[in-house]
Chain A
């Protein structure tokens, strides 16, 4: 009883505080409204369409899912691909991360740079590369006179492993670099061999990191749409089937049902990762910072490791290289004369796509960035009822497959009074609410390192919520603000899985144009689109880096959060 009394008392004082600052109250209400409308409401629609398709409850589509092999088979296929990609991706990522975090090999900057390439480029450029390399007229196929078939399971595993190992690498690098070398040295000093030390000290300490890397790559593979739609062949996966159900058949209840079967495993894994593995983190705590740093690595470890890392990065370079080469080829597989025609094509025919994409990105980026910072500020600094819920909902779309978000938006906003389909607004909203969480997380993390006395001082001097936010908080967390915006912008240029459902005659995106070219078999033109996108992204990232350096004296930490 006492607890309840205390709780009620606290609630009342919270309410009292809120009422004294109406600007804050309005902001909270407004943000809750946005989060409900653009995150929860679409998801509710998915559930509604799958179980109450015509107003009345019927489990028909769920039952059909299990009865028809062409419905459930793609889920099994997706899980198989996911498991293989997780295993291969994590192994490669571990080698890469170990080399960078735990040894003194050279060219670390170069290796790190290579790993960011797949992250900042449209996902299915790798699938395009796979066709150019290993397709029937592929460079490697022709050179070695090979007789194989890249479409289907092998192609899916290959392309997705390359596309998603960098994410696993980034999370593993973080974990491995936090392991205190003194622990390893202690084991060595006590007479354990280098190998034994690795297996009894390093590996166990890295286990939670490895587990998260496995889950992360598994989810990314499960929700991948760009690579499968290009290279799945006769091995259908769930994301593509859900897409076909919506755009090919406009069977909304079926699409919604498939979306749920995609959503459940993803959310399950995210929950496991967030609440189980992240608690088992073995960060080694000592009273003083680790000294001495890394010991020189023995040659018989260093050189094989270096060789492996060179091999991995060469493969990545090979894929992007062949796409670059392909973008200058007249007619792939037939007429290999070099030409600039494909780029001319992109800038003439695709000019509209380029400007549409840029307009959308330039609107979405500042709004998403600012909204993210406001939410971060509220969550990290203000006490109000539903604060935890606000944090949870605002991060939700990040853990939901893009295909599900796309389907949810088309179900929710295809009807009056909220008919947004066909407008630029719906594309902008998809980008903002799906990609804002990175900024929010960064913002919260930075605010936790800043003394609350600063905003208290601002409040004491009579500044309201808005003034405090703009004058005191925003300048302090501007690194998070800028990196969150850069991330959002890059994703506006490269994402396809969610937005492919909401593009229209008035508003087209570059990634969708690229996909059309691949569909049409115009691989060289597709490659040119790909490099135009990469070009824009690289320019923006370099600009942001310069700005960050100039203002804060440090570079940009991008995408390590994903």
Chain B
């Protein structure tokens, strides 16, 4: 049975490869993570965590929040990761509603977080907030003799036609937050779509240069001058645009803007529930959240240090009652996005 021997050898080679691959560092416990933070930023926290817990190794994949939600849905019951780190609470809410998350009320964070920054049943907890703003290329403004947009309607100015970039609201948490900010800014009293919103989105779509998958991608595009205006979170604009030295300026719409509660949650059925809790508690600590200043994020732990130049609620025209509406928009994410796709055809 020489063939059998050949086949067994083949099999052994595969198996050996698998084994050596999987047990590259046998001494360490592995925590699998999905993160919606930028690769460069996620690295800061993950490296700090691994330093604080030298026996834990984090294996992580970066995806946009919508992509993580989609992945967690598809893997329902046997997820490839134990913890979902970052991304607006809206995506976590949608997942919690479908029973894809595990509550964690015992977390220390639970005690200090005000009610608006955590799920009433403990399915997710916020660790930072960020505001939707505009990032505009200064050279473009000088060249065309215009001011940076300070109103949602300024984006419809013909000078910006084909010069705006944002992400797809279904892949990106940033873009979904942008979308619900528009819906609420144009009509703070109502929830969801009305005629004015539909008309506005149609016109805004006509101004777009293109859509990206990742919410923060437009900041670099604006910095490089590939497009004139991007719509993104304030911390990403500061970290990836202003701080890098790109000629960009950040502005906010006067009608009001929305914000995200950046959240962390435990994925139900994840392979390492206990390790996930270790990370969960760590990211809620003042020590971890003091690192946020490197990415201009606003920490939610009151004892964490606030970075220089960080944008807080006091400096931004926030839409009235936006915080109370986030939950609803998380629960109705699919319908809101479906309507957007129908209008824009994207």
Contacts and interface: CB of A to CB of B under 8 A. Distances in A.
Interface of A: 23-24, 26-27, 30, 68-70, 73, 131, 135-137, 149, 151-152, 232-234, 236, 244, 247-250, 252, 331-335, 349, 356, 359, 362-363, 366-367, 370-371, 414, 419, 421-425, 428, 464-467, 470, 503-508, 516-517, 519-522
B51 interface: no
Contacts of B43: 349
Contacts of A137: 224-226
A210 B209 CA distance: 37
A248 B3 contact: no
B18 A425 contact: yes
Most chain B CB within 10 A, of A152, A234, A362, is at A234
Majority-rule SS of B interface residues: mixed
Given A250-B70, A333-B225, A466-B2, A244 B168 contact: yes
A151 B345 contact: no
What are the 7 closest A-B residue pairs judged by CB atoms, nearest first?
A521-B220, A250-B70, A466-B2, A70-B345, A23-B3, A248-B171, A363-B17
A525 B63 CA distance: 19
Interface string B274-315: 000000000000000000000000000000000000000000
Contacts of A331: 244-245
B73 A250 contact: yes
Given A250-B71, A423-B18, A70 B346 contact: yes
B1 A69 contact: no
A86 B307 CA distance: 54
A504 B80 contact: yes
Given A30-B7, A516-B39, A244 B2 contact: no
Nearest to B74: A250
Interface in B29-50: 32-34, 38-40, 43
B159 interface: no
Nearest to B24: A355
B341 interface: yes
Interface string B147-171: 0000000000000001000001011
A540 B1 CA distance: 35
Interface in B198-238: 208-214, 216-217, 219-221, 223-227
B78 interface: yes
A185 to B, nearest CB: 54
Nearest to B228: A136
Contacts of A250: 70-71, 73-74
B3 A522 contact: no
Contacts of A332: 224
Contact of B171 (A244, A470, A503): A244
Interface in B1-16: 1-7, 10, 13-14
Contact of A520 (B17, B39, B162): B39
A10 B120 CA distance: 75
Contacts of A248: 64, 66-67, 70, 168, 170-171, 213
Nearest to B30: A506
A252 B74 contact: yes
Contacts of A423: 18
B81 interface: yes
Contacts of B145: none
Contacts of B208: 234
A235 to B, nearest CB: 8
25 contacts: A70-B341, A70-B345, A136-B225, A137-B224, A247-B70, A247-B171, A248-B70, A249-B170, A250-B73, A333-B223, A334-B224, A349-B43, A359-B21, A363-B13, A503-B61, A505-B34, A505-B61, A506-B32, A508-B61, A519-B213, A520-B217, A521-B219, A521-B224, A522-B40, A522-B220
Contacts of A68: 345
Contacts of B346: 70, 236
B6 to A, nearest CB: 6
B166 to A, nearest CB: 12
Nearest to A349: B43
A424 B20 CA distance: 11
Nearest to A507: B21
A190 B221 CA distance: 63
Interface in B324-342: 341
B40 A425 contact: no
A363 B62 CA distance: 26
Contacts of A30: 3, 7
Given A331-B245, A505-B81, 12 more contacts: A69-B345, A152-B210, A233-B209, A234-B208, A248-B67, A250-B74, A349-B43, A370-B10, A423-B18, A424-B21, A465-B2, A520-B39
A354 to B, nearest CB: 13
Nearest to B60: A505
B78 A366 contact: no
Given A248-B66, A334-B246, A520 B10 contact: no
Given A233-B210, A504-B61, A466 B6 contact: yes
Contacts of A149: 162, 209
A470 B344 CA distance: 61
Most chain B CB within 10 A, of A30, A69, A249, is at A249
Contacts of A363: 13-14, 17
B59 interface: yes
A367 B80 contact: no
Nearest to B61: A505
Contacts of A136: 224-227
A30 B6 CA distance: 12
A386 B337 CA distance: 50
A108 B115 CA distance: 73
B3 A505 contact: no
B223 A520 contact: no
A505 B220 contact: no
